[in-house]
Structure 1
Amino acid sequence: MHQLSEAMFANAVTELITRDPDLARIHAIYGPPPFFAREPGFATLVLMILEQQVSLASARATYDKVVALLGEMTPERLLQLDDEQLLGAGVSRQKRRYSRILAEAVLSGTLPLATLHERTDEEAHQALTALTGIGPWTADVYLLMCLRRPDIWPGGDLALQAAIQALKGLEKRPTAAETLPFAEAWRPWRAVAARLLWHHYLSGG
């Protein structure tokens, strides 16, 4: 499937700031956005589960404690840890359950992570969200950052919602559904527009 390269990313940024004056303003004030990306695989998905509803720094601290117990984040090793060990690392009961469901799905082949890049956006999204604990936001961000799909839109992301509110002068933060009309204008580069908006948010805009 189509994967966003850094060269494509730069070209897409140029196209978007030509088309949308609000995105152009981000670029003019804060410069080019970083090419936010992550390594695909089990370890990143575990980290994304830990990131749900907490700060990135808190999730990373918990993740690092778990890795310190394991040596390496693999499905096999994660399943060897008991509740007491995971709780000691700061993993909540719900996230322990989600992480174990993920590990078992990867080991059984129910979630074919190694070949997920061969699937369409919709197929890959469905494969991820079929697992308890992986909702639309986690699946969207995995496709956007790990599989580097160019037209993924994680409308449920609170930072993107806040950035749209600020840029478009909205009275309140839009819901995921309310971000869609704005994002439509950024096809086929919605994932690039998302990076511009994250850049705005993280830069204090």
Structure 2
Amino acid sequence: MEQFDKSNYEALVQQLCSIDEDLRRIVEEYGMPPLWTRPNTFATLVLTILEQQVSLQAAFAAYTKLEAAIGEPTPEKILAMSDAEMRECYFTRQKTGYVRGLATAIYSGQMVLSQFETMPDEQVRHELTKLKGIGPWTADIYLLHALRRTDIFPLGDLALVLALREIKGLDKSVSKETMLELAEPWRPYRSVATMMLWHYYLSRRKSKVALR
């Protein structure tokens, strides 16, 4: 399984710039996209679950509150927390259940995160999505951030879709099939293209705020 890291990331960005002028314009206007990675840990998956269907700021606030309460999250610490303690950390009832389910799977040995490092992408997705509350988006973000797989294209991610529509001048009604076709030339480095599109989305949002 090919990975990206500090040693090859910039070269992969430049390779994509050479084959897609819209991606090249992102780098020309906003600079090199950050290398957004996370460690392959239970805590990373907890944060990713918190990020489901909420703003990154709201998710980070909940995660920060959790860390203040228990330190770095571990399965043992999560399973020892009461419902009330989870609520104090801004966890909804649903996300409490999802994180406890993940904690139980890892604590019992049903799931071993280090084993994912040598599994194909589809097998990792299959194992993760067997757990309640972990869907395709969460699995893709984990594959991209924690395992640093090179060809992940999470079309369930709103920021990615909005950025792709904008740089390609797409209508709001554009199908996922069309978006996948547009991303086909970026294989096998669609993860890096995703980073570039996130960089564009965040940079554009910052510039719009600055103009207000």
Q: What is the TM-score with the length of structure 1 in the denominator?
A: 0.95
Deviations 1:121-171 (A, max 9, x none): 111111111111111111101111110001111111100100011011112
**Are the aligned partners of 1:161 and 1:176 in contact in 2 as well (CA < 8 Å)?**
no
2:210 is matched with which residue? none
1:112 is matched with which residue? 112
Aligned letter for 1:150?
T
1:71 is matched with which residue? 71
* Cα separation, 1, equivalents of 2:189 and 2:42: 26
Change (3 A) 1:52 1:204: same
Distance apart, 1:176 and its partner CA = 4.3
* Cα separation, 1, equivalents of 2:77 and 2:7: 37
* Cα separation, 1, equivalents of 2:138 and 2:174: 19
Distance apart, 1:175 and its partner CA = 5.2
Q: Alignment partner of 1:204: what SS?
A: helix
> Quick check: 164-173 or 186-195, which moved more?
164-173
The answer as to 2:93 corresponding to 1:93 is: yes
2:38 is matched with which residue? 38
1:20 is matched with which residue? 20
1:140 is matched with which residue? 140
Change (3 A) 1:99 1:175: farther
* Cα separation, 2, equivalents of 1:7 and 1:173: 39
Distance apart, 1:71 and its partner CA = 2.6
Change (3 A) 1:32 1:106: same
* Cα separation, 2, equivalents of 1:110 and 1:178: 38
Q: What is the TM-score with the length of structure 2 in the denominator?
A: 0.92
Change (3 A) 1:37 1:175: farther
Distance apart, 1:186 and its partner CA = 0.5
> Quick check: 3-12 or 174-183, which moved more?
174-183
